[in-house]
């Protein structure tokens, strides 16, 4: 998930103001503008559009980010960096993501605005903002991308074939490079086309499917972690434990104990 791959390094709450301080930037880190009031136009590379309340606008590192206010604007500006030890496939989103759960989004904005009323400790405020409130924006984004992937109908017949194959075989031991070769394209082409079709990379999608199966087995069976790892396509229980803990936020044993009925 995005929350496991990117961490917050900077945050600014701005507005209301009539314009952006910088109308164009190329930053060396991924960034997000979460608009709370007003609206603005943006262009991120070839991607362009308008954003208003409920919209999160993402720009990867080293990409031109142009923006122009259409009215007085209030927004949250967040800087990220990729987790250094993470080398897996989870590209930073590009452009606008519209959040449907505006109640939760508004609640997160409210806490960000008013956290100073709850605690006078600057370090405590910063910790809550970086560890919980801003990652919640990434979580809402992840949920929107998953919903989009579920509903999206792509015209890319080759990616439809790949999507169906992954759903059926995600828990088997297979090579993503070999799968790309079987499709007649390179690994990088496969990743780009799958991302364009479904809003998530194929490796990240496989991880999601495997962890959902792992959660099911943890809750519905008494199988050992080693057995569950094997059934989900992982080489060992210790490796599954590392992935599970990183993505879910609990280790498998704690997850089983907490959620099993």
Domains and CATH numbers, the chain: 2-151 (2.60.120.10), 157-259 (1.10.10.60)
Q: What is the pLDDT of residue 88?
A: 57
Q: Per-block average pLDDT, block size 10, for the chain (261 residues)? A: 82 92 91 92 88 90 92 93 68 86 88 87 89 90 76 77 87 88 92 86 89 87 93 93 86 84 62
Neighbouring residues of 161: CB distance < 8 A, sequence distance ≥ 6: 183
**Is pTM, for the whole model, over 0.85?**
no
pLDDT of residue 256: 87
Residues 6+ apart with CB under 8 A from 199: 145, 148, 149, 152
pLDDT at site 257: 85
According to the model, what pLDDT value does residue 98 have? 87
Whole-Å CA distances, 78 to 11, 101, 137, 221, 236 = 5, 20, 10, 42, 37
Q: Evaluate whether 97 touches 58 at the Cβ level (below 8 Å).
A: yes
* Three-state DSSP state, 39: coil
What pLDDT was estimated at residue 174?
Answer: 80
DSSP 154: -
Backbone angle region of 111, left / alpha / beta, with phi > 0 → left and psi within -120 to 50 → alpha: alpha
User: Are 12 and 68 spatial neighbours (Cβ–Cβ below 8 Å)?
Assistant: no
| Spatial contact of 223 and 210, defined as CB atoms under 8 Å apart | no
Which of 80, 71, 78 is closest to 52 using CA atoms? 71
User: By three-state DSSP, how is residue 35 classified?
Assistant: strand
Q: How many CB atoms lie within 10 A of CB 9?
A: 13
Q: Given this model, what pLDDT does residue 163 score? A: 87
């Amino acid at each position: 998930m995005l929350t496991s791959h990117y961490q917050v390094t900077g945050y600014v709450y701005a507005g209301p103001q009539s314009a952006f301080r910088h109308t164009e930037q190329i930053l060396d880190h991924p960034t997000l503008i979460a608009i709370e009031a007003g609206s603005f136009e943006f262009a991120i590379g070839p991607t362009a559009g308008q954003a208003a309340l409920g919209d999160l606008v993402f720009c990867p590192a080293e990409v031109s980010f142009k923006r122009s206010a259409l009215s007085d604007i209030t927004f949250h500006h967040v800087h990220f960096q990729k987790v250094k030890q993470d080398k897996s496939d989870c590209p930073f989103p590009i452009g606008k993501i519209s959040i449907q759960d505006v109640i939760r989004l508004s609640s997160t904005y409210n806490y960000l605005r008013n956290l100073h009323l709850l605690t006078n400790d600057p370090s405590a405020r910063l910790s809550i903002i970086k560890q919980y409130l801003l990652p919640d924006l990434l979580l809402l984004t992840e949920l929107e991308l998953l919903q989009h992937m579920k509903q999206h109908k792509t015209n890319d017949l080759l990616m439809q074939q790949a999507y169906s194959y992954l759903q059926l075989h995600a828990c088997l031991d297979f090579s993503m490079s070999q799968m790309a070769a079987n499709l007649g394209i390179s690994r990088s082409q496969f990743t780009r086309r799958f991302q364009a079709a479904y809003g998530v990379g194929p490796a990240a999608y496989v991880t999601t499917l495997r962890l959902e199966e792992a959660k099911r087995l943890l809750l519905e069976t008494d199988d050992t972690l080693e057995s569950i790892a094997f059934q989900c396509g992982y080489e060992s229980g210790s490796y599954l434990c590392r992935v599970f803990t990183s993505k879910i936020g609990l280790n498998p044993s704690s997850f089983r104990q907490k959620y099993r009925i």
